[in-house]
Structure formats: structure tokens, C-alpha cells
Amino acid sequence: MAETHYAPLSSSFPFVTSYQTGCSSLPEISRSTERALREGKLPELVCGIKETVATLSQNPVNIFVTGDSGNGMSSFINALRIIGHEEDASAPTGVVRTTQTRAEYSSSHFPNVVLWDLPGLGVTAQTVENYMEEMNFSMCDLFIIIASEQFSLNHVKLSKVIQDMGKRFYVVWTKLDRDLSMSALSEVQLLQNIHKNIRENLQKERVRDPPTFLVSNLDPLLYDFPKLRDTLHKDLSNIRCSEPLKTLYGIFEKIIGDKVAGWNQRIANECLKSSLGVRDDDNMGECLKVYRLMFGVDDESLQQIAQGMGTVVLEYKANMKSQSFHSLRREDWKLRLMTCPVANAFFCLFKCLPWLCPCFRRMRHKRMLLLVAQDTKSILEKILRDSVFPPQI
């Protein structure tokens, strides 16, 4: 049977999710990329981020397929790869134990992924702890626990050990066709019962609900197999990119923080007019335009960013507070208080006091600068997220 290619599912990147993996090395960020952020040239940054993600996507990922002996691990691997049991590259299957030592397989559906077919628990060791050490669980990035007929104590122990390691895992029930043919229950009731049984057994050991899929190894296109493949594609991207991109985002935060600190110093030194290039540094609307341009989140830059990411500019403006001074005041109560009619009247009334005007002006500018910096961070986070899972329009 020929393999059919599946494109990665476009979805939101769970940026705060962390998966422990041995493949989280971040490609060296070029000086030009850092300079682009410092100079507020975010459109130039897009290319560098996309190249970084492309490099990360080549990192190898190890997936361990494990469970009790006889649960159909080898058959599942063949079904996941969409190849027949009779093909030369298939994992050997049979009614007796066919996997005595772990074996590795690859698939064109999942480039740079090694699927490890492990001997069933109990074949090589008597305890989960010994099995874990013998199979070298530490090298694995994601586990797939195979079950059928019953969700045994061994399955629960495996789940507990993997959770304690901080690794991600799935539970896959592999012989749904047989269960449906032998059960007097309706399909809906049977599926509910299997899910409930797995969940209740895991809860007894305080194991959080993992992604659970009910499939038939005989038909890799039915039941939860499509959902399983889509979830796996997303998680592979998360495993490869989550930690490195969080590191990259930390670099971006520091650069923006340094930039804010530098401009706060200029604000404190009362050199705003010359620095911003404006005629009136009390004109908050004009000054906001300069701050947005300075950070690279002005309208023209956002349009270029959206084009570079293959989406519409509204995607990047949707949650942006600083689109205009009016929207910024509406979204931020502190700035609204600083610029309300009462505050402006007070400001005009005491213009004769030489120390009051500069102090009040600095407060407003520092607040506006901070809000534009926050918008910049949000846009950078979205660029990182969209680089992993391009948005659909």
C-alpha cells in the first residue's frame, strides 16, 4: 500500500506549552536579525524567524510505541505509516510475541521522526522501572501507549512514569473493530465506556487525562486515526519549536526592554522634540505615530508583516491597543486619566510652574511608550506562533 502524505494541521501554536526534549537547540540568531528588531524593522525580522522555524523543523524526534505484549504495537506502527503488514518495510506482526528488542521505523508522513517499536512490557523486564531503564526512556520525546481488551495496571504505571518524567504521551486503543463486532452496546455507548474506563484508571494514580484515540489497526483511515495524525503533526512542531522559540522570545523581550529603557532616559533628559522629530511633544497622537514607527508596528510595517506571513493585516491589528491615540486611551485607564479634560485643565492652569509641566509630560510619554512596547511583544509572539502554524484565511 502506497503512503499518502498528510500536511501539518494549521492551528494556534500553544506558545506557553513546554515539552521536554533533547532536540531544543536554538539556531544561532544572526546579528542582522537582532539589529532589525533594535531598529524597528519587524518586516525584516519575519524572514529570519521563518528560517529559524524551518531549521528547527528538521530536528529529529523519537517516538516510543509501548504497552503490554500482545496489544498490537507493531500493527499500530504499520497502520500509522499506512503500509501493509506484507511489505518489506513493515514491522513484523503476529499472534505471538514478534518484537523481542526495540526496532526503529520511519515514515514519509512524518519526516525526521523515528518510530520505535518496543517489546511489550513484561518481555524484557518484570517491573516498569526496569523496563524504563532498559528501553532508555530518557531519549524519547513522545510516547504512544497502546492498549486493547483492557487498560491494565501496567498501562497505568507506564502513564504515571512518563508523566513524572515531564514527557507528553498518548493512549491509543487499537482493536476497536473487534470490540464493536463483539459488543451488544451501541457504538456511542461502547466508545464512551472505553474512554471512561481509561480515564478512571488514570485518575486513581492522579495521572492527567492524555490525548486518547480509539482506532482499528485494520483501517488506518477510520475512527480516530485522522485525528491522531493531526494531533501528532501539531505536537511534533511543538516538541521541536516550543522551547527554542521561547528562548528566542526572551531575546526579543530583552531587546525591547533595553529600547524602552533608552527612550525613558531620553524622556527624563527632556530631549523629546529633537529625538522624536515632532514640533509639539504634547501632541500625543503625533508622538504615538513616532513611537509605533520606532518599534516597527506602524501601519505600513504591519501590512508588510502580514504579507510576509501570508495573512491579512487585521490579524495583527486585532488585539493591538495602540492603533490610534483614541484606542490607546480607551484601552488603558492610566493613560485615560493622564489625558482626561480635568487633567489637561489642571496642566494648563499650572503651566507657570516650571517643574510641573515636564513631570506631567514625562509620565504620559513613558506610559505611551510602555503600551507600544507591549503591543510589539504581542505582535512578535504572534509572528512566532504563525511561523509554526500559518494562519488560514
Domains by residue range for the chain, with CATH: 60-223 (3.40.50.300), 244-388 (no CATH)
pLDDT in tens, 326-369: 888 888 778 777 777 666 665 655 555 555 556 777 888 899 99
Q: Residue 238 has what pLDDT?
A: 92
Could you count the other beta carbons within 10 Å of the beta carbon of residue 105?
20
Q: For residue 142, name the pLDDT band (cuts at 50, 70, 90).
A: very high
Q: Residue 333 has what pLDDT?
A: 74
- Of residues 339 and 162, more confidence is placed in 162
pTM of the predicted model, to two decimals? 0.79
% residues pLDDT > 90 (the chain): 42
Q: Residue 11 has what pLDDT?
A: 37
Does 195 score more than 90 pLDDT?
yes
Q: From residue 57, how far is each of 43, 233, 245, 343 by CA, in Å?
A: 22, 11, 12, 53
Does 62 score more than 70 pLDDT?
yes
Closest C-alpha among 14, 37, 10, 8 to residue 243: 14
Q: Residue 55 has what pLDDT?
A: 87
Q: Residue 301 has what pLDDT?
A: 95
* Lowest mean per-residue pLDDT among 1-5, 26-30, 198-202, 344-348: 1-5
Alpha carbon distance 239, 21 (integer Å) = 7
Contact 389, 311 (CB under 8 A): no
Mean residue pLDDT of the chain comes to: 82
Contact 115, 77 (CB under 8 A): yes
Q: Residue 391 has what pLDDT?
A: 77
Does 303 score more than 70 pLDDT?
yes
For residues 211-227, give the mean pLDDT: 92
**Total residues found in the chain within this entry:** 393
Contact 375, 297 (CB under 8 A): yes
* Lowest mean per-residue pLDDT among 84-98, 151-165, 290-304, 358-372: 84-98
Cβ partners under 8 Å of residue 2, min gap 6: none
Alpha carbon distance 249, 228 (integer Å) = 30
- Of residues 90 and 371, more confidence is placed in 371
Alpha carbon distance 149, 8 (integer Å) = 32
- State the helix-helix crossing angle for 284-295 and 356-388, rounded to 10 degrees: 40
Q: Residue 313 has what pLDDT?
A: 92
Does 1 score more than 90 pLDDT?
no
Q: What is the DSSP letter of 322?
A: G
Q: Residue 91 has what pLDDT?
A: 58
C-alpha cell at 157: 504505571
Does 20 score more than 50 pLDDT?
no
Closest C-alpha among 75, 70, 109, 101 to residue 90: 75
- 3-class secondary structure, 173: strand
> At which residue does the C-alpha cell 487633567 appear?
343
Q: Residue 8 has what pLDDT?
A: 34
Q: Amino acid letter at 92?
A: P
Q: For residue 211, name the pLDDT band (cuts at 50, 70, 90).
A: very high
Alpha carbon distance 51, 63 (integer Å) = 25
Q: For residue 125, name the pLDDT band (cuts at 50, 70, 90).
A: low
Q: From residue 128, how far is each of 98, 198, 201, 353 by CA, in Å?
A: 20, 19, 17, 77
Residue 357 Rama label (left phi>0; alpha psi -120 to 50; beta): alpha
Q: Work out whether the CA dihedral 259, 288, 343, 349 comes out positive or negative.
A: positive
* Lowest mean per-residue pLDDT among 19-28, 122-131, 161-170, 237-246: 19-28
Q: Residue 172 has what pLDDT?
A: 96
Q: Give 178-201 as a DSSP string.
A: HHHHH-SS-HHHHHHHHHHHHHHH
Could you count the other beta carbons within 10 Å of the beta carbon of residue 385?
18
Does 7 score more than 50 pLDDT?
no
Q: For residue 300, name the pLDDT band (cuts at 50, 70, 90).
A: very high
For residues 229-247, give the mean pLDDT: 91
